[in-house]
Amino acid sequence: MHEREKLELVDKLSEKGITNIYVLKAISEVDRHKYVPKAMRQHAYKDVALPIGYGQTISQPYTVAFMTQALNLKPNAKVLEIGTGSGYQAAVLFRMGVQVFSIERQFEIYSQTRKLFDQLGIRINTKFGDGTIGWDEYAPYNGIIVTAGSPDIPPSLKKQLAIGGKLVIPVGTKDSQILKIISKKSDDEFEIKNVPEFSFVPLIGREGWNQK
Ligand code: SAH
């Protein structure tokens, strides 16, 4: 279903500069319409963010593709996602064959998406809670992807990243962020690359924005 729309989306993403074939292949295989509310389904394969309720959004496919490509994952990598949301980003990672751990702080979204993963047979380890402090139990991770905008880089996430791994996180004000791609060279040595102009909902938590 939706095969033509999926291929058109993948074409658009490659035109915009996504080159990783594993990322493009996963996007061509994941049913994005299953991760958006019914009323939004006709827009599911457009390259836009869409509201998923509770003031949250499903990220734009280009953003998902860009961040996933930036993680530079090897097969069997272990990835931690902060902000499960609709589950689409996690589903793309799962489709690429990586081991996914994902944390969501809004209970309604967490339980709805957990149910969806079970219905679709998507085996992802999920947790309800504050992702700014990471998920120590399964650390270190080869990749950490934060899908909400943070005031700073949470120290816990840097700590839980494996040496050689990458942390991708939007950092800035509540209105606008730049994407930081952080490579861990050793326990206290990090290389940071900045990519401008992305927009995310706020990351709320102990090492994020205070709850208002
Ligand atoms: N990856 C999601 C994007 C959802 S938007 C997708 O593919 O649809 C970001 C999500 O981050 C929201 O659901 C929001 O509730 C959640 N979030 C914000 N702060 C968080 C925190 N500290 N820990 C875990 N999740 C958080």
Q: What is the mean pLDDT of the chain?
A: 96
- If you ran DSSP here, which 8-state letter would residue 34 be given? G
Residue 110 inside a domain? The answer is: yes
Give a yes or no: residue 190 inside a domain.
yes
- Tell me the per-residue pLDDT of 133-154, one tens digit each, with 9 for 90 and over: 999 999 999 999 999 999 999 9
Tell whether ligand 1 has an atom less than 6 A from the beta carbon of residue 157.
no
pLDDT tens string 53-91: 998 999 999 999 999 999 999 989 999 999 999 999 999
**Is the pLDDT reported for residue 195 higher than 70?**
yes
Query: 207 lies in a domain?
Result: no
Mutate which of 32, 34, 56, 89 for ligand 1 pocket (most atoms within 8 A of beta carbon): 56
- Pocket of ligand 1 contains residue 148 by CB under 6 Å: yes
CA distance linking residue 212 with residue 16, whole number of Å:
36
CA of 75 to the centre of ligand 1 (A): 25
Over residues 158-187, mean pLDDT: 97
Residue 5 has pLDDT above 80, yes or no: yes
Q: Say if 94 falls within a structural domain.
A: yes
The answer to whether position 128 is within a domain reads yes
What is the reported pLDDT for 197? 82
- Return the pLDDT at 1: 76
- Give me the pLDDT at residue 199, please: 85
* 212 is a domain residue: no
CATH no. for residue 130? 3.40.50.150
The predicted pLDDT at position 212 comes to 58
Radius of gyration of the chain (CA): 16
Whether 59 is catalytic is yes
The reply to whether ligand 1 has any atom less than 6 angstroms from the CB of 91 is no
Pairing type for strands 177-186 and 189-198 reads antiparallel
Q: Phi and psi for 154 in degrees, rounded to 5?
A: -60, 125
Which domain range does residue 39 map to?
3-198
Q: Which of 28, 59, 102, 176 is catalytic?
A: 59
Q: Rounded CA gap, 16 and 211, in Å?
A: 35
The number of distinct structural domains making up the chain is 1
The Cα-based distances of 104 to 78, 80, 113, 132 in angstroms read 18, 11, 10, 10
Given a contact cutoff of 8 angstroms between Cβ atoms, the answer to whether 58 and 88 are in contact is yes
pTM, entire model: 0.97
Tell me, using a 6 A CB cutoff, whether residue 132 lines ligand 1: yes
pLDDT at 211: 79
* Over residues 183-195, mean pLDDT: 97
- 113 belongs to a structural domain: yes
pLDDT higher for 167 or 211?
A: 167
Tokens of 86: 């609709």
140 lies in some domain: yes
